[in-house]
Amino acid sequence: MSDVNDFIAGLPKAELHLHIEGALEPEMMFALAQRNGVALPYADVEAIRAAYSFTRLQDFLDLYYRGMSVLLTEADFYDLTLAYLRRVAQDNVRHTEIFFDPQGHTGRGLAFETALNGISRALADGEAELGITSHIILCFLRHLPAEEAMATLDQALPHRDRIVGVGLDSSEQGHPPAKFKAVFDKARAAGFLTVAHAGEEGPPEYIWSALDDLQVLRIDHGVRALEDPDLMLELARRKMPLTVCPLSNLRLCVVDDMTAHPLKMMLDRGLVVTVNSDDPAYFGGYVNDNYYAVRQALALSDEELALIARNSFGASFLDEATKAKYIAEVDAYVASTGRSVAS
Ligand code: HPA
Ligand code: ZN
């Protein structure tokens, strides 16, 4: 590993855009299929990896929903989540905000609580073992009717203490954020914080809609904001965090080449950019791999890398004192490397 990648490896960071079902590595998919007696349409782990060749978001989603069919019990969600935490502890992730897709599970007959209980128990044990703090964010599947999202929100209400917020994922095109305005109104009234995927494949109008109709606190992806100068100004004015996922964008052909990724331009225009892995088991890398990829392709400086790490804590749903504690860890780390990086 090069010296500059050592710098990334040691940077304390938060991951704010991670679908836990997208952390299901082929090895675990196979093991859980055997444990649960689920048939998979793949001969072996290599065949699973070979299938991960995507030209657009929907190609990935089709395999992502198929992959999650092996997740049946609370223990499965527990094992999946603890494996993710142990993996990202190596990347010096100090805090993570994990998405889960309850409708991907209740639609297969699982109880709403099965996934939530397994994930939250692993997060508690992971914090004790690894010191990584965490939050859980429930995502609604936007390709399904708003009424089903509303019913899912109702299922979540008794668990408000374990779910910090709600988001919106799955097939973006044709499913604008406005479709879920009433759901998000009710979620905010119940005390949930809100985020939404927008401007991944969908147009800049969807980012406007996430801001105005859903009143989100972060935009997930948002890379198509570059197409709308007024939107860029508004995102900067609002200091709206964007959870950017470079390897995901590359693997889903949102960008043709990492050197064409808009992340550096977004930073240069003053946007609050963070770097995340999205679905690391499917897109070829965990969070540090995403930092390495953009550093190399876009020639990011140490200052920019440290800023992205600070942003990751600043944009989190931690309380202000804890954010400040983690940001001070970034500053202390940078100072300890002897690099001169302005805050
Ligand atoms: N976009 C939309 N839906 C998703 C994604 C994504 O990147 N990952 C998992 N569900
Ligand atoms: Zn995502």
Neighbours of 298 (CB within 10 A): 19
Cα–Cα distance for residue pair 83/92, rounded to 1 Å: 15
| Beta bridge mates, 272 | 241
For ligand 1, the distance from its centroid to the CA atom of residue 170, given in whole angstroms, is: 5
Q: DSSP label at 67?
A: H
Q: What is the pLDDT of residue 134?
A: 98
Spatial distance between the Cα atoms of 141 and 114, rounded to a whole number of angstroms = 18
93-100 and 13-19 strand pairing: parallel
> How long is the chain?
343
Q: Maximum distance among all alpha carbons in the chain?
A: 55
- Sole residue written with tokens 């914090």: 127
Would the CB of 17 count as within 6 Å of ligand 1?
Answer: no
Report how far ligand 1's centroid is from the alpha carbon of 172 (Å): 9
Q: How many C-beta atoms lie closer than 10 Å to residue 326's C-beta?
A: 22
Indicate whether 343 pLDDT > 60.
no
pLDDT in tens, 167-226: 999 999 999 999 999 999 999 999 999 999 999 999 999 999 999 999 999 999 999 999
| CA-based nearest residue to 134, from 126, 142, 144, 146 | 126
Phi, psi of 294 (to 5 degrees): -75, -35
Nearest CA, atom 2, ligand 1: 170
Q: How confident is the model at residue 341 (pLDDT cuts 50, 70, 90)?
A: low
Average pLDDT taken over every residue of the chain: 97
Measured from the CB, is residue 97 less than 6 Å from ligand 1? no
Query: What's the token pair of residue 42?
Result: 């793949």
Annotated domain spans of the chain: 3-337
CB within 8 Å of 325: residues ≥ 6 apart: none
Identify the H or E element spanning 195: strand 193-198
- C-alpha to C-alpha distance for 279 and 109, rounded to whole angstroms: 24
Identify whether 200 is a catalytic site residue: yes
pTM here is 0.97
Question: 113 falls in which pLDDT band (50, 70, 90)?
Answer: very high
Q: Which atom of ligand 1 is nearest to the CA of 245?
A: 7
Contact 310/330 with Cβ under 8 angstroms? yes
Q: In what order do the strands lie in the sheet with 241-244?
A: 13-19, 93-100, 133-141, 165-169, 193-198, 218-221, 241-244, 272-275
What CA–CA distance (Å, rounded) separates 194 from 186?
Answer: 11
Rg (CA), the chain: 19
The model's pLDDT over 83-95, given as tens digits with 9 standing for 90+, comes to 999 999 999 999 9
φ, ψ dihedrals at 166, nearest 5°: -125, 150
Q: Using the 8-state DSSP alphabet, how is residue 218 labeled?
A: E
d(CA 200, CA 222): 6
- Ligand 1 atom nearest the C-alpha of 101 is 10
CATH topology of domain 3-337: TIM Barrel (3.20.20)
Ligand 1 atom with least separation from CA of 172: 2
For ligand 1, pick from 17, 64, 250, 251 the residue to mutate: most ligand atoms within 8 Å of CB. 64
Q: How many CA atoms lie within 13 A of 205 on its CB side?
A: 7
**The predicted structure's pLDDT at residue 338:** 81
**Gap between the Cα atoms of 44 and 155, Å rounded:** 37
In the chain, DSSP assigns E strands to 13-19, 93-100, 133-141, 165-169, 193-198, 218-221, 241-244, 272-275
Over residues 150-184, the pLDDT tens digits come to: 999 999 999 999 999 999 999 999 999 999 999 99
The residue annotated as part of the active site, out of 97, 200, 201, 329, is 200
DSSP structure string for 11-32: S-EEEEEEEGGGG--HHHHHHH
- Please, which pLDDT band fits residue 142 given cuts at 50, 70 and 90? very high
User: Which amino acid would we find at residue 230?
Assistant: D
| 221 CA closest ligand 1 atom index | 7
Cα 197 to ligand 2 centre (Å): 7
User: 71-86: per-residue pLDDT in tens?
Assistant: 999 999 999 999 999 9
Q: How far is the CA of 338 from the centre of ligand 1 (A)?
A: 38
Query: What digits encode the pLDDT tens for the residues 261-283?
Result: 999 999 999 999 999 999 999 99
The token pair at 108 is 């297969």
Nearest CA to ligand 1 atom 10: 170
Q: For residue 1, what pLDDT is reported? A: 47
Which residues lie near ion ligand 2 (Cβ < 5 Å)?
278
